[in-house]
Amino acid sequence: MNANKEKPMAEFVSNPVTVSEETYLDFTSETIWPQLCPTREYDWIEHWECDLVRSASGYNELDCVFLRDFPGECGRETWVTSRFEPFQRIEFVRTNQARVIRFVIELTPDGAGTVLRWTQHITPLNAEGNEYVKDKPRAFKAQMGMLAKILAHYLETGDMFRG
């Protein structure tokens, strides 16, 4: 027997999850779109902080890269804008040591307003990631509801929602 041979690692099984929510805002996609930007989120998301790594314009664009550390998100994340279709669709890949998320935001005109469909495809990379996705369906619904509420407040008043 080879003494240098490593013992096999316990087999990890990833438990991917997809979560999705729809919200309606009484604003056009042309009004909403500019706010879906790591730089502009300083204007409307309380306690927002990120490190902008790559952006030719200083705003969100295809291949924009920024770093963010959300509480409860398994540590510091790298975000990459992987799809950028103004006024219609934006996609981010978010990754850290525990999981990878493809975050899709679709904007669909509906009368005088817009339906926003927020979808996250989450792939755990380890046991911590599997633990993270267990409560994600409930947590995501609350997170997207709050995000829509504070975005609507900002678009209505020009002021950041505090609370």
Q: Tell me the pairing of strands 99-110 and 89-95.
A: antiparallel
Q: pLDDT value at position 71?
A: 85
Nearest-CA neighbor of 23 among 108, 91, 129, 99?
A: 108
Q: What domains can you pick out in the chain, each with its CATH number?
A: 23-156 (3.30.530.20)
pLDDT above 70 (res 142): yes
- The conformational region for residue 87 under phi > 0 = left, psi -120 to 50 = alpha, else beta, is left
If you average pLDDT over every residue of the chain, what do you get? 94
pLDDT above 80 (res 122): yes
DSSP 35: G
User: pTM for the full model?
Assistant: 0.90
pLDDT above 60 (res 95): yes
CB 112 within 8 A of CB 32: no
